Amino acid sequence: MVHQTMNSSSASAASISRMTTHMRSRWPSPGWLGLRGLAVAAILGMALGCAEPAQPPGAAATRVVPPPAAPPTPIVRARARWVPVSWGELPGFGDDRTRELWPALLAGCTKPADGWASVCALARVLQPMDDAQARDFLQRTLQPYRVESLDGQTSGLATGYFEPLLMASRVPRGAQQIALLRPPPDLATRKPWWTRAQLDTVPAARASVRGSEIAFVADPLDALLVQVQGSGRVRVTESDGRERLLRLAYAGHNDYPYKSVGRWLIDQGELRGEEASWPAIREWARRYPERINELVWSNPRVVFFREEPLPDENIGPRGAQGVPLTPARSVAVDPLAVPYGTVLWLDTTEPLATQPLRRVVMAQDTGSAISGAVRVDYFWGWGAQAETLAGRMKQPLRVWALWPR
């Protein structure tokens, strides 16, 4: 899903080499787990190389003391510097419902980042029974790093996105005249392709997409919104009158850069910077319907889709990592700063209130406006509440990356 944005615990965690003892005391016993318990022991043995070597019969017992682990060092990436810190630096880490991370974590582990194979193998077997066990698992397997820009900036921006739900028709019908498109046959022959304004005004441009229409919607802002978000759910009326729910998944664009319609309204003097939320954009369009084309044409980028079935409404769209996104636990990042599949700790605030939003999430998506080290787009899910929250989210942010030891 490639989109554009619209707008405490203990000190340093113990080494994973202590995990076997921990599992006896905190996790269900092998007898209760049966084969799963044997798998735990096997994986732990492989991950840790763990047991002391067996002594020959009659030999005196000798304790093998491993050398102390080297302290973690900073990690420098193309657009970020990661500085190792203690777990005590993560504000509110002990208060999160950490067990809720597991669906997103396991999804990410189907396409793990380099260095994550052992942690993912453990995570698949050691399903935590509560938040405390989930936190303990993260602390024993991962090392926290403060994410900062290459010039040392530790503060950044959190925005939000969601998956829209649109009402559409397979054929032009009544007010439903605005087409959502699959990639047209001539897309590769023009670099760049037609702009949004040209598609609406140039006969040759309109002719080039004839036959590429997936469905038609009534509101030009709905068409713009699903393109900005990069994915959408569509309740479509078929030509025989039946309705069905499907997903439009990102399939490409016209090679023009994305330009924010909110930024355009600010530059026009129509909105102040703090007002440029998606609800405010919709309200402006309601008051000035004669200027809607001017508004949507300010963004030349056209996004194309492919149609996918949606047999389970609880499964999110696929992000750039290639795995389904999990509401409130998946975020979009700049992959040159944070690799896909990284566990992150966010410190930001709720978009409609002043209370903190401190949460462990997975980096599983990206977007053209998501650039830089301390920058995330938070996936709120789908539905009206998700739209409201995503449309108003523009919050200060700090980020920590949790990476395998």
The structural domains of the chain, with segments of one domain joined by +, span: 163-309
**pTM score, whole prediction:** 0.78
**Over residues 107-115, mean pLDDT:** 95
Angle between helices 35-48 and 117-125 (to 10 degrees): 160
- 163-309, which class in CATH? mainly beta
| Predicted confidence (pLDDT) per residue in 241-271, tens digit | 899 999 999 999 999 999 999 999 999 999 9
In this predicted structure, the answer to whether residue 91 has a pLDDT above a threshold of 80 is yes
Higher pLDDT, 13 or 170: 170
Residue of 163, 129, 127 whose CA lies nearest to 314: 163
| Pairing mode of beta strands 80-84, 213-217 | unpaired
Query: Per the structure block, which two tokens stand in for 366?
Result: 């990206």
In this predicted structure, the answer to whether residue 354 has a pLDDT above a threshold of 70 is yes
pLDDT grade for 64, boundaries at 50, 70 and 90: low
pLDDT grade for 69, boundaries at 50, 70 and 90: low
pLDDT grade for 276, boundaries at 50, 70 and 90: confident
In this predicted structure, the answer to whether residue 368 has a pLDDT above a threshold of 90 is no
Q: Lowest-pLDDT range, 31-35, 132-136, 160-164, 337-341?
A: 31-35
pLDDT of 322 reads 94
Q: How big is the chain by its Cα radius of gyration, in Å?
A: 25
The answer to whether the bond into 192 is cis (omega within 30° of 0) is yes
Rounded to an integer, what distance in angstroms lies between the CA atom of residue 21 and that of residue 27? 10
Inter-residue contact 267 to 336 (CB < 8 Å)? no
* Residue 3 β-bridge partners: 367
DSSP-assigned letter for residue 176 = B
Rounded to an integer, what distance in angstroms lies between the CA atom of residue 405 and that of residue 388? 39
In this predicted structure, the answer to whether residue 47 has a pLDDT above a threshold of 60 is no
pLDDT grade for 405, boundaries at 50, 70 and 90: very high
| Pairing mode of beta strands 356-367, 330-332 | parallel
Q: Tell me what the pLDDT averaged over the chain comes to.
A: 86
**Over residues 36-56, mean pLDDT:** 45
**Over residues 368-379, mean pLDDT:** 95
In this predicted structure, the answer to whether residue 87 has a pLDDT above a threshold of 60 is yes
Percent pLDDT > 70 in the chain is 83
pLDDT of 126 reads 86
pLDDT of 28 reads 46
Write the CB contacts of 332 (distance below 8 Å, at least 6 apart in sequence): 3, 161, 319, 320, 363, 364, 365, 366, 367, 370, 376, 377, 379
Q: Is 288 helix (H, G, I), strand (E, B) or coil?
A: coil
| Predicted confidence (pLDDT) per residue in 171-228, tens digit | 999 999 999 999 999 999 988 999 999 999 999 999 999 999 999 999 999 999 999 9
| Pairing mode of beta strands 394-404, 142-148 | antiparallel
pLDDT of 383 reads 85
Query: Per the structure block, which two tokens stand in for 202?
Result: 């140039």
Query: Per the structure block, which two tokens stand in for 235?
Result: 């309740």
pLDDT of 89 reads 97
pLDDT of 134 reads 97
In this predicted structure, the answer to whether residue 12 has a pLDDT above a threshold of 50 is no
| Predicted confidence (pLDDT) per residue in 301-342, tens digit | 999 999 999 989 999 999 999 999 999 999 999 999 999 999
Rounded to an integer, what distance in angstroms lies between the CA atom of residue 77 and that of residue 337? 6
Residue of 306, 310, 362 whose CA lies nearest to 339: 362
pLDDT of 60 reads 52
**Hey, what's the torsion of the CAs at 303, 304, 307, 308, to 10 degrees?**
-50
Inter-residue contact 320 to 1 (CB < 8 Å)? yes
